[in-house]
Structure 1
Amino acid sequence: MDEVFGRRDMISPARLKVLSVKSDARGFMQVGGHLGALMVTGVALALTWGTWWAVPAFVAHGILINFLYAGQHELSHWTVFRTKKINEVFGRLFGFVLIYPRDFDQIQHFAHHRFTQDWDNDGELGRPRYTLSSYLLWVFGPTYWYTRVRRIIRFSLGIVSEHYIPDDRKPQVIREARWHLAGYVAIAAISLATGSWLAVQLWLLPMLALKPVHQLQNTIEHLGLPHVDAITQNTRSTRTNAVMRWLCWNMQYHTAHHAFPGVPCYTLPTLHQEIFVEKDRKPPSMTYLGFQWAVVKAFWNGRTEADYPDDRIWISDDTDLEPVAPRPAAAA
């Protein structure tokens, strides 16, 4: 996606063109680093299974698997590699591992970029407004995995109800889901035939158990921000450390990414520096744990997402962006 959603005065076209250059070499470094780390944790987990040493290996392995979505996200944008086909190959591989087919994810995510925070058209806002319980179920994974598995089965049956999927793309996502389902059935059949638990030990179990860590990134990017057509207001960046930025392929610079999604992940720090820091601008930003605590407080005592206005910020730790109070309770 090479569309521009940020204001034209944020960066010059010439400079944006430089920062948007893709590189196969840098792409292989990015992908290779993540897959290499996964190989290390996978071997460590296999060798230590059944001992206490398996616990840290299990945690690290599960986190690395889940954050493959950071890679899938970038690969869907065609920005990791200069060679377009390589983006597709790795994107499909990551999507299979994550039970999140690439073509569907790409269609949904592009609708999210084009209509960010638009309740009717944002591909990632097709959900009821959060309550505390529904939010926690999403963060810890039960409803997340339910929707992923159910969608693949539904698509495999030829049922595509998402309004943001064009009619001419529906056969594509149906075919993709059927290939995924066939692959998962084949893995299950081979595992049963051989009596092997490797797929569970090294893939499914750590991926499902460590999903909450990845949800820290998934939930912080837009929740509690105005549903308005302004990237610098409706998208949140994350204040964190270098390890997390590596793990998440620099998606913590999320406001910069939404403004100029054609910029590769490996030049996002530079883009953020030039459009925000050097110009003394500040996008909405929070820490992971600070955000989660603020969400829990916002939904405490029976309050829901519907209790807050759509056009104003209501989750923030920035005194310059003071969150609004919930709407008064309706009179009995």
Structure 2
Amino acid sequence: MVKRTVDDFVGKRGLIDPQRLKALSAKSDVKGGVQMATHLGAICATGVLLWQTWGTYWAIPVFILHGVLLNFLYAAQHELSHNTVFQTRWLNEWFGRIVGFIELYPRDFDQIQHFAHHRHTQDWEMDGELARGPFTLGSYLLWMSGIVYWQTRIARILRFTRGTVVEPYIREKEHATVIFEGRVHFLLYCAIAVASVVFESWAAVIFWLAPMMLTKCVHQLQNSSEHLGLSHNPNTLENTRTLRTNAFMRWMAWNMQYHTAHHTFPSVPFHLLPELHKDIVEKWGREPYSMTYFGFQAQAIRRLMNGRTEMDYPMDQVWIADGLPDELPADTQHA
């Protein structure tokens, strides 16, 4: 069982009154239950509709929506790993394990990696979510496609199943936990595969794996834009981006578009992040770095064109943000 927690982590002290922060950190079984029920209910509804329309052209948009809903279910796992969805702790635990199984992202490992991400955001050596090389245009587009994402997730489960742990942010005493968890996941996935062969059923592929894997590119709009192109300084107000979008996307992503607020005070549950965002803006005196999904993508691709890589930009400066010129001044880039 993972004992690490970021519940008490504060990204910037003195920004919010302690009593106000305590009020904003109130968890709710009702609000968490409604959000979980509506998200899982939407997945069930699109699954039924996909079954009814399979073999027709109507199945294509339903397939895409179903897959996108499955992918954004990771937002639920993310909150469950923070133990902020439900006030009742065991509900966070078990829903987290179920969702982690669906997402091919074991809960214990996710908590360990995400702890490192919050404690060391944008630190190449310590951030568990920066375990990659600097982006080139090609590697970035490959990442956005979802191919590398799924290859990494599947390879990690197989590696844990073999008893191999290489992640530097996983402490030695946690190796047994992630290995056991990986083996449980592997055996359960094998059981589903065997059952599918025995019953000659494609249900697991049609209603789960195929839509989830083939629409990962939509979820990558969220994943790629939260930190890339911002400062690597250890300040959540400088190294984390807020995203401007519509109400449907905020519902589907569990308000994770308020990512600056979340990283600054991760004990605040998803349903109170809009209020926390307003409080931060009022106290700080300005909006955090924010962009739209497609505005971010357009600028990120431009920055990586013409043979440039992520390392061509200083790590202590912002190089993807609204208002920046298409071509940054020469002194902004490395020689």
TM-score (norm 1): 0.96
CA-based RMSD:
1.5
Counterparts of 2:80 and 2:115 in 1: how far apart (Å)? Answer: 13
Counterparts of 1:300 and 1:40 in 2: how far apart (Å)? Answer: 41
Per-residue CA deviation, residues 87-137 of structure 1 (Å, 9 max, x unaligned), is: 011111111111111110110001000001111111111111011111111
Shift of 1:2: 1.7
> 1:6 aligns to what?
11
Query: Secondary structure at the residue paired with 1:250?
Result: coil
Per-residue CA deviation, residues 62-111 of structure 1 (Å, 9 max, x unaligned), is: 00000010000000000000011100111111111111111101100010
Shift of 1:175: 0.3
Q: Map of 1:265-284 to 2, 5 A cutoff?
A: 265-277=270-282, 280-284=285-289
Q: Choose from 229, 237, 240 the match for 1:232.
A: 237
Shift of 1:168: 1.1
> 1:310 aligns to what?
315
> 2:202 aligns to what?
197
Q: Mean alpha-carbon deviation: is it higher for 269-278 or for 187-196?
A: 269-278
Counterparts of 1:30 and 1:278 in 2: how far apart (Å)? Answer: 29
Structure 2 residue ranges without an equivalent (≥5): 1-5
Query: Secondary structure at the residue paired with 1:301?
Result: coil
Per-residue CA deviation, residues 221-261 of structure 1 (Å, 9 max, x unaligned), is: 00001110111000001011111000100000000000000
**Structure 1 counterpart of 2:9, which letter?**
V
Relative to structure 1, the CA distance from residue 234 to residue 185 in structure 2 (aligned partners, 3 Å threshold; closer, same or farther) is same
**Structure 2 counterpart of 1:109, which letter?**
H
> 2:173 aligns to what?
168
Counterparts of 1:18 and 1:87 in 2: how far apart (Å)? Answer: 20
**Structure 2 counterpart of 1:309, which letter?**
P
Counterparts of 2:210 and 2:282 in 1: how far apart (Å)? Answer: 41
**Structure 2 counterpart of 1:224, which letter?**
G
Q: Choose from 88, 91, 94 the match for 1:86.
A: 91
Shift of 1:3: 2.4
Query: Secondary structure at the residue paired with 2:231?
Result: coil
Q: Runs of 4 or more off by more than 6 Å in structure 1?
A: none
Query: Secondary structure at the residue paired with 2:288?
Result: coil
Per-residue CA deviation, residues 170-225 of structure 1 (Å, 9 max, x unaligned), is: 10000000000001111110001111001000001100111000000000000001
Counterparts of 2:297 and 2:200 in 1: how far apart (Å)? Answer: 41
Per-residue CA deviation, residues 40-81 of structure 1 (Å, 9 max, x unaligned), is: 100000110010111121111000000010000000000000
Tell me if 1:99 matches 2:104: yes
Shift of 1:301: 0.9
Shift of 1:306: 1.1
> 1:125 aligns to what?
130
Shift of 1:23: 0.8
Tell me if 1:252 matches 2:286: no
Query: Secondary structure at the residue paired with 1:302?
Result: coil
Structure 1 residue ranges without an equivalent (≥5): none
**Does the aligned pair in 2 maintain the 1:21–1:263 contact within 8 Å?**
yes
**Does the aligned pair in 1 maintain the 2:314–2:334 contact within 8 Å?**
no
TM-score (norm 2): 0.95
> 2:152 aligns to what?
147
Query: Secondary structure at the residue paired with 2:134?
Result: coil
> 2:292 aligns to what?
287
**Structure 2 counterpart of 1:119, which letter?**
W
Paired residue total? 328
Query: Secondary structure at the residue paired with 1:238?
Result: strand
**Does the aligned pair in 1 maintain the 2:240–2:260 contact within 8 Å?**
yes
